[in-house]
Amino acid sequence: MPELPEVETVVRGLRPAMERHRIVSVRLARPDLRFPFPDNFSDILTGARITSLSRRAKYALADLDNGWVLIMHLGMSGSFRVQDTSAETQPGQFHHERSKDTLHDHVRFDMETGTQVIYNDPRRFGYMSVVERRALEQHKLFSGIGVEPLGNALSADYLAARFNGKQVPMKAALLDQRIIAGLGNIYVCEALWRARISPRRKAASLVRRDGRPTQRLHALVDAVRSVLGDAIEAGGSSLRDYVHADGSLGYFQHAFSVYDREGEPCPRQTCSGVIHRIVQSGRSTYYCPVCQR
Please state the domain extents for the chain.
4-138, 156-287
Q: Is the pLDDT of residue 41 over 80?
A: yes
- Which of residues 102 and 42 earns the better pLDDT score? 42
Q: Which one of the listed residues 3, 6, 8, 190 is annotated catalytic?
A: 3
Task: Give dist(CA 220, CA 265) in Å, integer.
Answer: 22
Q: Which one of the listed residues 58, 194, 240, 261 is annotated catalytic?
A: 58
Active site residue 58: yes
Closest CA to 82 of 253, 251, 250, 244: 244
Domain 156-287: top CATH class: mainly alpha
Active site residue 16: no
Res 13: pLDDT = 87
Q: Is the pLDDT of residue 282 over 60?
A: yes
Q: Is the pLDDT of residue 249 over 60?
A: no
67: left (phi over 0), alpha (psi -120 to 50) or beta: left
Active site residue 112: no
Average pLDDT over residues 141-161: 95
Please give the distance of CA 88 from its chain centroid, rounded to a whole number.
24
Q: How does pLDDT run across 214-237, given as a tens digit for each residue?
A: 999 999 999 999 999 988 887 766
Active site residue 122: no
Q: Which one of the listed residues 34, 196, 216, 283 is annotated catalytic?
A: 283
Give CB contacts under 8 A, 24+ apart, made by 142-146.
142/56, 142/57, 142/59, 144/178, 145/56, 145/57, 145/177, 145/178, 145/181, 146/176, 146/177, 146/178, 146/179, 146/180, 146/181
Q: Any idea which of 35-49, 168-182, 247-261 has the lowest mean pLDDT?
A: 247-261
The radius of gyration computed from the CA coordinates of the chain, to the nearest angstrom, equals 20
Give SS3 for 239. strand
Q: How does pLDDT run across 153-199, given as a tens digit for each residue?
A: 999 999 999 999 999 999 999 999 999 999 999 999 999 999 999 99
CATH of domain 4-138: 3.20.190.10
